Amino acid sequence: MAAKIIRGSEIAQQIRVDLKRETALLKERGVVPGLVTILVGQNPASMSYVAGKQRTAHELGFHSVQDNQPETISEALLLERILQYNRDPRIHGILVQLPLPPHISEQNILYAIDPGKDVDGFHPFNVGKLMIGQADFLPCTPAGIQQLLLRSGVPIDGAEVVVVGRSNIVGKPIANMLLQKGDGANATVTVCHTGTRDIGFHTRRADILIAAVGRPMAITVDMVKQGAVVIDVGVNRQGFTPEGKAKLCGDVDYEAVRQKAGAITPVPGGVGPMTITMLMANTVKAARMAAGL
């Protein structure tokens, strides 16, 4: 029997309905959530990601600003832009789209963002709060994964979770989030990476398998336990359709694994829509915190 398909696009839409309602209530109290997205250069993928974020912000009723800067902007000038938004009371969330040009230090830029406006959850202050289970802002993709599991009724408490990938953006934070005490967590978590000798040995034990490798078809059917829940974070481009549209696949051999898994996320339409949605949720939370509500 084929796996249940966990459709992030549908769950994301449910959350956005709630966020739109919450935004309207905040507006009645004189608070309009404000989000600025800063794009340096004209990387096509980055332009597409930022456009999606701005479109969603507009749909929810945010005060949204798109700040486009040339690829030649100096690090000093970009830092000054961030400081301006740190001081702007209309802006509650600041997002700098990565990657940045080589002459700009991503670390310096991300560290300059006010932690109270760090809706990506990348500032060391917010990473530290995440580690001790007191996060104000959860990183968006891991938060989306957690919501997919919760809203799909997947048991997490006591589950064996295996995360393949140890990035600062996905692997490390989702592992930390799922091992915390409390609802939507309390799992036993194993993290696999390029230094793991036998990844399949670990993945075959997983009740919940989270693939965040960045390599097409890295997780094959023989690596998955019968009935496991498989969350595929990967978005890999594999050529183009005759119409010129990019063909996407995940880190999991989807067609084979879905015949064995209990539930699985597709690519596209799985984790991706949740990432933007959780960014919006963090922005609403930042606005509420700034207003003391």
Give the integer Cα–Cα distance in Å for 148 and 150: 6
User: In this structure, are strands 229-232 and 208-211 parallel, antiparallel, or unpaired?
Assistant: parallel
What is the Cα 25 distance to its own chain's centre? 26
* Cα distances (angstroms) measured from residue 98 to each of 4, 9, 38: 33, 23, 9
Catalytic residue, candidates 67, 118, 120, 207: 120
Residue type, 186: N
Q: How many CB atoms lie within 10 A of CB 27?
A: 12
Beta-bridge partners for 93: 35
Q: Catalytic: 245? A: no
The dihedral through the CA atoms of 247, 250, 252, 254 has a sign that is negative
Identify the CA nearest to 227 among candidates 215, 209, 213, 243: 209
Q: Report in angstroms the alpha-carbon separations of 143 from 10, 169, 238.
A: 16, 11, 27
53 given a catalytic annotation? yes
Q: The dihedral of CA 122, 125, 126, 130: what is its sign?
A: positive
C-alpha 93: how far from chain center: 15
Q: Give the pair of three-digit tokens for residue 69.
A: 């800067």
Active site residue 69: no
Q: Which of 54, 67, 97, 117 is catalytic?
A: 97
Could you tell me which of 216, 208, 250 has the C-alpha nearest to residue 233?
250
Considering 53, 117, 172, 260, which one is annotated as catalytic? Answer: 53
Active site positions, annotated: 53, 97, 120
